Amino acid sequence: MAAHIPDEKIKAIKNASDIVDIVSESVSLRRAGRNLLGLCPFHAEKTPSFTVSPDKQIFHCFGCGAGGNAIDFLMKHGGLSFPEAVGDLAKRYGIDLPTRKMSPDEKKKLTERETILTLNGNAVSFYRECLISEARGRQAKEYLLKRGMTGKTIDEFNLGFAPDGWDQLLRHLREQKKSARMARRAGLIVARKKGDGHYDRFRNRIIFPIFNGQNQPVGFGGRVMDDALPKYLNSPETPVYTKSRSLYGLNRARQKCREMQTVYVVEGYFDLLAMHQFGIENTVATLGTSLTADHVQTLKGFVGEAGKAILVYDSDQAGIKAAQRSVAIFQKGLIEARILVLPKDHDPDSFLMAQGSDDFLKAAEQSMGMIPFMVESAIEQYGLSIDGRVRIVNDLKSAILAIGDPVARSLRVKQLAERIGVDETVILQKVRRTALTPSKAVWMPGRQDMNKAAPAPIHGETYRLERQMVAMMLQFPEMINDVERRRFTDHFTDPVLAEIGKGIIDHFAHAGGDIAGLVSRWEDPEKKAVVSRLSLIDEHWDRNGCMNLINQFAASIRRRDNTLLKSIEAAEKSGDENLLAALLREKQQQARSGMKKQGNTNQ
Q: According to the binding rule CB under 5 A, does residue 73 interact with Zn ion?
A: no
Number of Cβ within a 10 Å radius of residue 107: 14
SS3 content of the chain, % helix, strand, coil (to 5): 55, 10, 35
Residues 301-320 that bind Zn ion (CB under 5 A): none
Give me the half-sphere count of Cα atoms (radius 13 Å) on the Cβ side of residue 208.
21
> How far from chain centre, in Å, is Cα 44?
10
What's the rounded Cα separation, in Å, for the pair 472 and 552? 13
Query: 525-536 and 495-511 helices cross at what angle (nearest 10)?
Result: 70
Q: CB of residue 474 vs Zn ion: minimum separation in angstroms? A: 20
By the 10 Å C-beta count (0-12 exposed, 13-18 middle, 19+ buried), 325 is classed as exposed
**Nearer to Zn ion by C-beta: 61 or 518?**
61
Q: According to the binding rule CB under 5 A, does residue 90 interact with Zn ion?
A: no
Q: According to the binding rule CB under 5 A, does residue 42 interact with Zn ion?
A: yes
Contact predicate 492/504, CB 8 Å: no
Q: According to the binding rule CB under 5 A, does residue 531 interact with Zn ion?
A: no
- Which of these segments, 32-40, 319-327, 338-346, 526-534, binds Zn ion (CB under 5 A)? 32-40
Q: CB of residue 333 vs Zn ion: minimum separation in angstroms? A: 13
Q: Check residue 84 and give left, alpha or beta (phi > 0: left; psi -120 to 50: alpha).
A: alpha
Among the listed residues 39, 40, 85, 480, the single contact to Zn ion using CB under 5 A: 40
Q: CB of residue 135 vs Zn ion: minimum separation in angstroms? A: 54
Among the listed residues 43, 76, 223, 527, the single contact to Zn ion using CB under 5 A: 43
Q: According to the binding rule CB under 5 A, does residue 82 interact with Zn ion?
A: no
Q: CB of residue 43 vs Zn ion: minimum separation in angstroms? A: 4
Residues 50-69 that bind Zn ion (CB under 5 A): 61, 63-64
- Which of these segments, 40-48, 225-233, 323-331, 487-495, binds Zn ion (CB under 5 A)? 40-48
**Nearer to Zn ion by C-beta: 63 or 599?**
63
Question: How is residue 436 annotated by DSSP?
Answer: H
Q: CB of residue 175 vs Zn ion: minimum separation in angstroms? A: 49
Measured CA distances, 25 to 79, 158, 240, 522 (Å): 15, 23, 20, 25
**Nearer to Zn ion by C-beta: 42 or 264?**
42
Q: CB of residue 287 vs Zn ion: minimum separation in angstroms? A: 28
- Which of these segments, 37-45, 383-391, 460-468, 491-499, binds Zn ion (CB under 5 A)? 37-45
**Coil/strand/helix, residue 498:** helix
**Nearer to Zn ion by C-beta: 61 or 299?**
61
Any idea how long the chain is? Answer: 603
Sign of CA dihedral 582, 587, 590, 596: positive
Instruction: State the pairing for strand pair 283-285/262-266.
Output: parallel
Q: According to the binding rule CB under 5 A, does residue 337 interact with Zn ion?
A: no
Give me the half-sphere count of Cα atoms (radius 13 Å) on the Cβ side of residue 86.
24
- Which of these segments, 38-46, 144-152, 289-297, 488-496, binds Zn ion (CB under 5 A)? 38-46
Q: CB of residue 44 vs Zn ion: minimum separation in angstroms? A: 9
**Nearer to Zn ion by C-beta: 42 or 127?**
42
Residue 37 parent element (H or E)? strand 35-38
Residues interacting with Zn ion, by CB under 5 A? Answer: 40, 42-43, 61, 63-64
